[in-house]
A and B are shown apart, each in its own frame.
Chain A
């Protein structure tokens, strides 16, 4: 399946700012928007704390109550919870085995490499139909706001 993720420029900028501020630790948050089947549009993002105990430079975790809150906000705004974003400080924008093990169906996983506090390459990944492998999604930045 060839999936495409559209994102508003504001949402992309907010993610970038959050991930650069979080450097050298991994930072993370939620992606909200509308799903259209083979394409989806990210319209809002929610930044949340990385609550991973231990090495936050190489791991992230999101608190269950932040997850519940994100679902509520999506519902209130008439949007869907579409995925997660997180940074890979000083590492490539590729999913790790740990990312794969924890991945959920349907969600888009944005991974943004951050090198020396500068966000460089952004990629997006989704589990395939068999829920065994990641497939890369195409990201298109809208030239207008929604």
Chain B
């Protein structure tokens, strides 16, 4: 079983579970399965084309899957998969807070 670590701000979509076991063999299959189990989580995980959302990074252990086999990175027993939300912002182009 691989173990998927859910980031704190997205745990509301997994019934506040921080860790979820997965018996899938690849990152793509594990993420799709997670989205299927928790439908409200899906829009944060996958884009409209069913690909891993661009605002999400997936790390296997300490490695970005983009440096491995991307979505087809294989999962083994005891593999730790981290879902990492992109954390970024900026100080221009303010939106209308008064609407």
Contact = CB atoms under 8 A, between A and B. Distances in A.
Contact of A96 (B5, B10, B95): B95
Contact of B88 (A61, A65, A92, A106): A61
A98 B85 contact: no
Q: Which of B55, B64, B88 has the most CB of A within 10 A?
A: B88
Interface in A59-85: 59-62, 64-65, 67-68, 71, 74, 80-82, 84
25 contacts: A60-B88, A60-B89, A60-B90, A61-B88, A67-B84, A67-B87, A71-B5, A81-B7, A81-B8, A91-B92, A92-B94, A95-B94, A96-B89, A96-B90, A96-B92, A96-B95, A97-B93, A98-B93, A102-B55, A102-B89, A105-B10, A105-B12, A106-B10, A134-B97, A136-B97
Interface of A: 26, 28, 52, 57-62, 64-65, 67-68, 71, 74, 80-82, 84, 86-89, 91-92, 94-100, 102, 104-107, 109, 134, 136
